[in-house]
Amino acid sequence: MGVTDQAEERWQSYDPNGEPGERVLTKPEARSGILHGAAHVWIVRTGAHGVEVLLQRRAADKSTWPNHLDISAAGHVDFGETPLAAAVREAREEVGLELDAARLRLLFVRHARLAYGEIIEDEFQWVYGCELSRGAEFTFADGEVAAVSWMTLGDFRKLTEGGQAEYPLVPHGDAYFANLLTELARLIDT
């Protein structure tokens, strides 16, 4: 973690309707299956080979899905923080991008329950898209990301449908990826 030590993280609880709760969650509490929030930011651009999606490769020492390809930038909603503010913060912390909140488009919100060993993530996920109109340099100051790479939208679609890559993809589920691909195509068309 970058700015805040992981032991000090305080995450926002949510009720079953997706409304912020009164409870402040520690990381261990949230990872025991208590409903909390996460913000996902998918970054796209138009490159030499058409529409491309930015994928991060998670660091080898991550407690969940180490060395897997994943969302451009993502993380949990801190207590008192909005999902949009969390999306902007995570992009800055994980890949060094200063994104203007006005440029982020909410693609969809879903409730998901993911398990990795003993860790249970029960969360509302606010999924945002952002199109980069210029080149960007990426930095990985918080140690959560090992690298980033651009993948064409077509190759990304194949990967989400079970295609092979040098690193596996974090398993967000078929419905997540189907919805994401539809929404990313709309984002580029607007």
pLDDT, tens digit only, all 190 positions of the chain: 443 445 588 999 999 999 999 999 999 999 999 999 999 999 999 988 889 999 999 999 999 999 999 999 999 999 999 999 999 999 999 999 999 999 999 999 999 999 999 999 999 999 999 999 777 889 987 789 999 999 999 999 999 998 888 899 999 999 999 999 999 988 888 6
pTM of the model: 0.93
Contact between residue 131 and residue 51 where contact means Cβ atoms under 8 Å apart: no
Residue 52 pLDDT: 94
Residue 102 pLDDT: 96
* Tokens 């999924």, residue located: 127
Residue 4 pLDDT: 43
Structure tokens at 183: 């929404």
Which residue ranges make up each domain of the chain? 7-189
CA dist 167 and 183 (Å) reads 24
Half-sphere exposure (Cβ direction) of 150: Cα atoms closer than 13 Å: 17
* Tokens 């949230």, residue located: 30
CA dist 187 and 190 (Å) reads 6
7-189 topology per CATH: Nucleoside Triphosphate Pyrophosphohydrolase (3.90.79)
Residue 190 pLDDT: 66
Structure tokens at 148: 């980033």
Contact between residue 15 and residue 5 where contact means Cβ atoms under 8 Å apart: no
Give φ, ψ of 189 to 5 degrees: -75, -15
Residue 7 pLDDT: 55
Residue 3 pLDDT: 39
